[in-house]
Amino acid sequence: MIKIFVPGRLCLFGEHSDWAGTYRRLNPKIVKGYALIVGTNQGIYARVKQHPQNLIFQASFSDGSKSELVTLPMTPEGLLEEAQKGGFFSYIAGTAYQILTNYEVKGLEIDNYLTDLPIQKGLSSSAAICVLIARAFNQIYNLQLTIREEMEIAYLGERITPSLCGRMDQAGAFGNKPILMTFDGEQVELEELSVKQELYLVIVDLGGSKDTPKILRDLNSCYPFPKNQIQQNVQQYLGILNAQFLEKAVALVKEGDAQSLGTLMSQVQVEFDRHLIPACPDQLTAPKLHLLLNHPELQPFIYGGKGVGSQGDGTAQLVARNRESQDQAISIIHRNFPQMQALKLTISPPAKVKKAVIPAAGFGTRMFPATKVIKKELLPIVDRDGRAKPIILKIVEEAIMAGIEEVAIVVQQGDVEIFQEFFQAPPKAELLNKLSPENREYSQYLEDLGQRITFLVQESQEGFGHAVFCAKNWVKDQPFLLLLGDHIYQTQTALSCTEQLLAAFAQSDRSVIGLTIMSEAIIHKAGCVTGVWQKPNSLLEITKLYEKPTLEYAQANLHVPGMAESDFLGVFGLYVLKPEIFEHLEAEIQNNCRYKGEFQLTTCLDRLREKAGIMGYLVEGEYFDVGMPQFYRQTIHDF
């Protein structure tokens, strides 16, 4: 059984532009649609397991009530019939129908044990259910779908119901991250954004009512060719004005400029009212919305706000001045508008990576007999500055120079003192006195580095995954950089290999694996991945990881479209991982799931991919393996 959470989605800017942009296929003069979406902090929680023949679902609603237990046969006819009935369970059936007609799957048993997302309030609760169903099938049956592909399945699933959902609704699949969506006919582009500072919003269920189908009918009647001034105004607002607003909004969200963002929201609402209310006055005049937006007691705590979704008296969003103002605004709303429900939405920047882990507890058997007297991580390499450095120092410097603040080196119990001594002053004063002034200064540099290093003990050497797990209590709940203890890195670009990977993590806010292009001749010696390029030859959404595949397996399952037939994407030896990786490592260790007698990292990375997604980044640089004699010799020559 697995647990899945899917949030709702809030349209910060650009409501109605998703369907409006699709009319470009009929009228190319229509401007592309643009919308800025973010996942809510609330959503739908479920426990999921496989069922041999049926789709079984029980729903929990936001008011605490539960539905009856529904059992649907996993047949195309039965699912399609249920989908076309309409209602809550139509979304479940519609998405299951799309999965069943495209993939070989059986059934699912889904317990939606908690829903804290308001239903039918412009936060795409129906789309969240559809994404949940697509993700459940994806993870249970290992369908290797990307997040974008889950969104597409969910969209197609909802479209065979009576729902008139737009293309933006399923963006909650990306979680609590701002997404810029562009709509050009049937083409949809997505760009993930990150913010520099927290943004504190309040989402308000206005406790009113609106007729969303009528709003959509009235506004759709203005397309594709306007027949009067009212219809021209609708197209102007959802076209050129929306594009201008979105350009400003994207810049403000990236900067985390709450004050300007709130001001822009209020301006957008004024223009929405001026251009769109005449097209549907009975629904879009929205007295409850405007009463809230203009409430005097709220003004000291907010920078501005606007309606949500199709607008009308459904939901509002407010930009609070800070965390305390967010709480104050919610308190005022609950006191003065008891029929309204207010929820928090905080958009946060990616967590800064401050810690690095370097496993160095292996026996170094491939470097025998040298490793009888010296740890392989202490073998020397001549750096660009002409200094003979032990390998471990070069790896530590790679992390520190990229901005890492603390480093943990995982070692055997008997090796702690050996490693510690290197990062301390020479034990004999006469040795220090014999050093040149420059080298005495460098000795102090090593001592300073030592203040930032923690040594963690791996009591028994049970594999790479086990070594990483030894850092769990030290890492705690932070993302961390993972470097191999027998790899060093080099690049000719302005950013080091590690800096490149940290930048990719900040951009995607997902765990990232460094990648390199490997030929078919050596792929059996490394981890290998495949996936879908999000940025060509740069950022890849990984759909499958495999440790040391045979060439036949790699050719059949791991080739990346667009690459030469003889090339594959192999693991570079650098990772930025979110702390959730420890959940999967712990589960494998507790269940004694070993590969060739050891606990591996790769299988747990694949579990993390299934649950939260993992990106791959094609590093501009080289790695040098010093873990085997032939590679070590080549490294000394090339590095």
Q: What is the DSSP string of 58-126?
A: E-B-TTS-BPPPEEEES-HHHHHHHHTT-SHHHHHHHHHHHHHHHS---EEEEEEEEE-SPTTSSS-HH
Tokens 């479920």 belong to residue: 46
* CATH code of the region 355-638: 3.90.550.10
Is the pLDDT score of 571 beyond 90?
A: yes
pLDDT at position 636? 79
Residue 426: per-residue pLDDT? 72
Q: Residue 224: pLDDT above 80?
A: yes
The pLDDT of residue 148 is 86
Residue 613: which pLDDT band, with cuts at 50, 70 and 90? confident
d(CA 426, CA 446): 10
| pTM, to two decimals | 0.75
Q: Is the pLDDT of residue 65 over 90?
A: no
Band of the pLDDT at 633, cuts 50, 70, 90? confident
pLDDT of residue 124 exceeding 90, the answer is no
Statement: residue 299 has pLDDT above 90: yes
Buried b vs exposed e over 237-249: b needs ≥16 C-beta within 10 Å?
Answer: bbbebbbebbeeb
pLDDT of residue 430: 67
Provide the CATH topology of domain 199-347: Alpha-Beta Plaits (3.30.70)
Lowest mean per-residue pLDDT among 28-37, 117-126, 514-523: 117-126
Report the b/e string of 144-154 with b at 16+ CB within 10 A: bbbbebbbbbb
Quick one: average pLDDT of 448-468?
92
Res 497 pLDDT > 80: yes
Rounded Cα distance, 149 and 143, in Å: 10
d(CA 470, CA 480): 13
Q: List the one residue out of 368, 322, 342, 239 whose CA is nearest residue 632.
A: 368
Give the list of residues 6+ apart from residue 101 with CB closer than 8 angstroms, or none.
Answer: 76
Give every CB contact of residue 368 below 8 A, 6+ residues apart in sequence.
none
Torsion angle, CA of 598/600/603/607, rounded to 10 degrees? 120
Q: What is the pLDDT of residues 7-35, one digit of tens each?
A: 988 899 999 999 999 999 999 999 999 99
Confidence (pLDDT) at 384: 82
Q: Rounded mean pLDDT of 440-453?
A: 89
Nearest to 357 by CA among 627, 582, 129, 587: 582
3-state helix, strand, coil in the chain (%, to 5): 40, 25, 30
One-character DSSP codes across 248-275: HHHHHHHHT-HHHHHHHHHHHHHHHHHH
pLDDT at residue number 174:
85
- Ranges 21-35, 164-178, 304-318, 543-557: which has the least confidence: 164-178
* pLDDT higher than 90, residue 385: no
Q: What is the pLDDT of residue 429?
A: 65
Average confidence (pLDDT) over 412-431: 81
% of the chain with per-residue pLDDT over 90? 61
Helix H or strand E encompassing 516: strand 511-519
Average pLDDT, the chain: 91
In the structure encoding, which two tokens stand for residue 157, read together? 């699933």
The region of weakest confidence among 137-151, 402-416, 507-521, 572-586 is: 137-151
CA–CA separation, 121 and 311 (whole Å)? 10
Q: Quick one: DSSP state of residue 47?
A: E
Q: What is the DSSP letter of 377?
A: G
Dist CA 76 CA 97 (whole Å): 6
First to last CA, the chain: 48
| 270 has a pLDDT exceeding 80 | yes
427 has a pLDDT exceeding 80? no
Span 139-168, mean pLDDT?
Answer: 87
Q: How confident is the model at residue 428 (pLDDT cuts 50, 70, 90)?
A: low
pLDDT category at 283 given cuts 50, 70, 90 is very high
Which residues lie below 8 Å from residue 487, measured CB to CB, with a gap of 6+?
A: 395, 573, 574, 623, 624, 625, 626, 627
Q: Decide: helix, strand or coil at residue 148.
A: helix
Given CATH 3.30.230.10, say whether it is the number of domain 2-192.
Answer: yes
Checking if the pLDDT of 407 tops 70, the result is: yes
Is the predicted pLDDT of residue 591 greater than 80, yes or no? yes
In this predicted structure, what is the pLDDT of residue 182? 96
CB proximity list for 189: less than 8 A, separation 6 or greater = 181, 182
Residue ranges per domain, the chain? 2-192, 199-347, 355-638
Residue 82: both structure tokens together = 């249920």
Residue 174 has which token pair?
């990306």
